[in-house]
């Protein structure tokens, strides 16, 4: 079998429509291996399961597509695939995460289980792409994605973006004809603020629901993913694992560190 092997995971769980659409989109390009969470794992970031064991379950298998579920986080799905299922075997030629139901633009990349998994995939030195649609609807319409996103994935798969590479692709929730194209851009600066909703449980204890909104601290910048999405473009941000702030590092190195040798 010389067909390419394509690994897919997500954070909405193995039954999510976005995952099924990504499988269908990639099916012509190779054999598909899916290991996806048993249940939704939105907001799980790069979390791993340390205090509980991980269960797996084979739920579908034919010549083209194999699907396992995993009881853990999206990053657990990646680890159990590469370091257990595929251990000492040929690595996938491409690793994907998505299609996520909801935006992972801007600082969402930090909270996102979809992008946590994509970054973890990139540790295996294979081309890696995370894809998200700006709709939380369970029955969202993913039909405008393939004609824009598949050409990018194919170039990444051919190695044209180099290795390691981890792209964060966000797609506006628009009909195909209204999407104006693709912009390669940087992560928008900003943060979330929460309006905690306070309620009382039947036993009289207060509890709180997270319910936040994104604050874009550079709304006028035109080279950001938020700008691209607001202007009906697909936003593509290359993501890196190194979180060192080098500008600040040079400043700090000038400190008179009393404690050094």
> What part of residues 55-74 is at the interface with its own copies (CB under 8 A)?
55-56
> What part of residues 151-190 is at the interface with its own copies (CB under 8 A)?
151, 155, 160-162, 165, 180-187, 189
CA R_g for the chain: 20
Q: Determine which helix (DSSP H) or strand (DSSP E) holds 125, and give its type and residue range.
A: none
Q: Can you tell me the distance from the alpha carbon of 35 to that of 203, in angstroms, rounded to the nearest whole number?
A: 39
Stretch that binds its own copies, among 14-22, 61-69, 111-119, 137-145 (CB under 8 A): 111-119
How many binding residues for its own copies (CB under 8 A)? 84
**Contact at 8 Å (CB) between 243 and 237?**
no
Q: How far is the CB of 251 from its own copies (least distance, A)?
A: 7
Report CA-CA distances (Å) from 83 to 9, 10, 60, 170: 15, 18, 21, 29
Nearer to its own copies, 89 or 257 (CB): 257
Name the DSSP letter for residue 224.
B
Q: Is the peptide bond before 99 cis (omega within 30 degrees of 0)?
A: yes
Stretch that binds its own copies, among 25-33, 48-56, 61-69, 88-96 (CB under 8 A): 48-56
Q: Can you tell me the distance from the alpha carbon of 188 to that of 197, in angstroms, rounded to the nearest whole number?
A: 27
Q: Can you tell me the distance from the alpha carbon of 100 to that of 16, in angstroms, rounded to the nearest whole number?
A: 9
Q: Does 76 bind its own copies (CB under 8 A)?
A: yes
Per the structure block, which two tokens stand in for 56?
């797996």
Residue among 4, 13, 146, 238 that touches its own copies (CB under 8 A)? 238
Q: Does 239 bind its own copies (CB under 8 A)?
A: yes
Residue among 37, 44, 140, 235 that touches its own copies (CB under 8 A)? 44
Nearer to its own copies, 2 or 246 (CB): 246
């Amino acid at each position: 079998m010389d067909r390419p092997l394509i690994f897919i995971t997500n954070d909405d769980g193995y039954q999510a429509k976005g995952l099924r659409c990504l499988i269908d989109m990639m099916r012509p390009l190779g054999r598909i291996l899916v290991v996806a969470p048993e249940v939704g794992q939105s907001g799980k970031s790069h979390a791993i399961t340390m205090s509980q064991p991980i269960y797996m379950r084979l739920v579908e298998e034919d010549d083209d597509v194999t699907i396992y579920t995993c009881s853990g986080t999206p990053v657990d799905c990646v680890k159990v695939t590469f370091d257990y299922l595929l251990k000492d075997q040929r690595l996938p030629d491409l690793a994907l995460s998505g299609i996520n139901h909801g935006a992972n633009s801007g600082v969402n990349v930090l909270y996102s289980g979809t992008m946590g998994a994509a970054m973890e995939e990139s540790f295996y030195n294979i081309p890696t792409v995370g894809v998200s649609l700006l709709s939380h609807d369970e029955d969202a319409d993913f039909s405008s994605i393939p004609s824009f996103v598949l050409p990018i994935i194919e170039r990444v798969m051919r190695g044209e973006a180099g290795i390691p590479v981890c792209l964060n692709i966000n797609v506006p929730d628009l009909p195909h004809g209204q999407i104006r194209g693709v912009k390669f851009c940087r992560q928008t600066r900003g943060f979330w603020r929460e309006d905690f909703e306070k309620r009382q449980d039947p036993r009289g204890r207060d509890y709180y629901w997270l319910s936040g909104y994104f604050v874009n601290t550079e709304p006028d910048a035109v080279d950001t993913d938020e700008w691209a999405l607001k202007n009906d473009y697909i936003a593509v941000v290359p993501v890196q694992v190194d979180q060192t702030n080098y500008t600040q590092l040079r400043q700090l190195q000038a400190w008179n560190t009393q404690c050094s040798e």
